[in-house]
Amino acid sequence: MPEPAKHHLLTLESGLAAAGEASIWARTLAAQHGVPDERTGNLDLCIIELINNVVDYAYGGGPGEIELELMFTPEALVLTIADSGPAFNPLELAAPVQATSLDDARIGGFGIHLVRQFADACHYERRLGKNFFTAGFGDVRELPRRVERRRAGPAGFPLRRADGTLIVADQRCDIDRRSLGFISRCDLFRDVPYAALEAIVRHCRLVEYPTGAVVLRADQPMNSVLVVVKGSLRVHLDGPDSEDAVDIPAGQCVGELSVADGKTASAWVVTAEATQLLVIEGPVFLERLLAIPRIGRNLIVMLAERMRRGNERIVARIRGAMELEALQRELDFARRIQASMLPANPLLPGQDAVECHGFMRAARQVGGDFYDVLP
C-alpha cells in the first residue's frame, strides 16, 4: 500500500515578512520529512519568489491572505500558494531575454523565471476568485492527482502534444464508452437516455487513485462531483485517520452538496482501495447534467437515502448515549446502597469510653471492601 501524502497548511498575512516566514516553515517541514538538501533549496527559492510576487503584485503591498499548502510523498513534494488578488497567470509571462551587457540588462523580473527553472512542474489555476499556483519537486509523475491539472474550459482543438505533433480533432472513444457503460448503471444516471449521457461524459475525466489517497479534504473548495466507477471511498467526518467513517461504494458519488451550494467540503474523503473516479466539473454538473429531467429526480432520491442513513446513525448514537446514562445512574444507585450499608456514627452507641472513626472511599463508583466495628 503506498504511503498517503502528508499535507501541511499555513495562512500568512501579506507583507514584507511573509516570504521569510514561509521559507522557515517550508525548510523546517522539509527537514522533518528528510527531503534532500538540493530539493529543499529549490523549494526554498520557489517559495520566496512566489510569495514575493503575491505580496508585490497580487496585493500591491496592501493587506491580504496568502494560503500555502505543502504536500509530501516519498517521491515528491508539491507546493500550492493561493491568493485573492486579481487573476494573474505568471506562467504566461515571457521568459526574460538574456541581456548582452550590464547596461541594457533589466534588473529584476527573474522571480518567475527562476521558479519555472527550479521547480520540476508548475501549474496555474484561477478558481473561486483566487489564484492557485502549484509547483512540484521531484518525481511529479507520481503525484497524487489532487493537484489541479484540469483545464478551465473544454479543450480547444487542435491541441499540441508534448512531442510537437498536433491533435486535430477529439479522438477519445474507448475510455468514454467504457465509462459510459458503467455510469448508465449508477444511481445518479438511472433511467437517463444513453444519448443524453454521451454528450456529458465527453466533458468528464476518469481519474485513478491508489489505496489511501486523500481525494477530498474538509474545508477545501470542491468544484466537481466525483462518481465512484471502480473501488470505493470512505468519508471521514473528523479527520483522514478517524475511525468513524461512511463507505461510498461504486455507483455512488460525493461532492454534489459542495457543488450545489458552493461551500467547502464538509468531510475528508479517502480511497478505501484502488479507485477509479469519474470527475464531473461543477459547471458541467449544474448546467448540463441537472438540465436532464431524470437526473434531478435521481439526485433527490440519493440525497433522501443519504439523509435517512444519517438519521439512523444519529438515532443509534443517541440511543447509545442514553444507555450509557442509564448505566451510570444504576451504578450511582449501587454506590449509594453500598455506602448506606456501612455503619454510621456513632459507631458504638452508648459506649462513650471508646471513640471510633471509619471512612471508606471506593476508587470508582462501587468498591469490594467493607468494614464494621464489633463491641
Partner 1 sequence: MKFETDALEGDVQRIALEGRLDIDGSQAIDARFSFLTTGRKANIVVDLTGVSFLASIGIRLLMTAARGQKGRGGHLVLAAAQPPVLKVMQTAGIDQLIPVYPDVESARAAIAGT
Among 10, 45, 128, 339, binds partner 1 (CB under 8 A): 45
Q: Is 94 in the site for partner 1 (CB under 8 A)?
A: no
Q: Is 35 in the site for partner 1 (CB under 8 A)?
A: no
Q: Is 58 in the site for partner 1 (CB under 8 A)?
A: no
Among 105, 291, 314, 318, binds partner 1 (CB under 8 A): 105
Among 9, 110, 303, 362, binds partner 1 (CB under 8 A): 110
Among 11, 92, 103, 174, binds partner 1 (CB under 8 A): 103
Q: What one-letter code names the amino acid at 308?
A: R
Number of residues that bind partner 1 (CB under 8 A): 27
Q: Is 314 in the site for partner 1 (CB under 8 A)?
A: no
Q: Is 52 in the site for partner 1 (CB under 8 A)?
A: yes
Q: Is 358 in the site for partner 1 (CB under 8 A)?
A: no
Q: Among the candidate windows 110-118, 119-127, 170-178, 336-344, which touches partner 1 by CB under 8 A?
A: 110-118
Window 221-260: residues binding partner 1 (CB under 8 A): none
Q: Among the candidate windows 36-44, 207-215, 243-251, 295-303, which touches partner 1 by CB under 8 A?
A: 36-44
Q: How far is the CB of 93 from partner 1 (least distance, A)?
A: 13
Q: Is 102 in the site for partner 1 (CB under 8 A)?
A: yes
Q: Is 113 in the site for partner 1 (CB under 8 A)?
A: yes
Q: Is 48 in the site for partner 1 (CB under 8 A)?
A: yes
Q: Among the candidate windows 45-53, 168-176, 281-289, 358-366, which touches partner 1 by CB under 8 A?
A: 45-53
Q: Which is nearer to partner 1, 48 or 279 (CB)?
A: 48
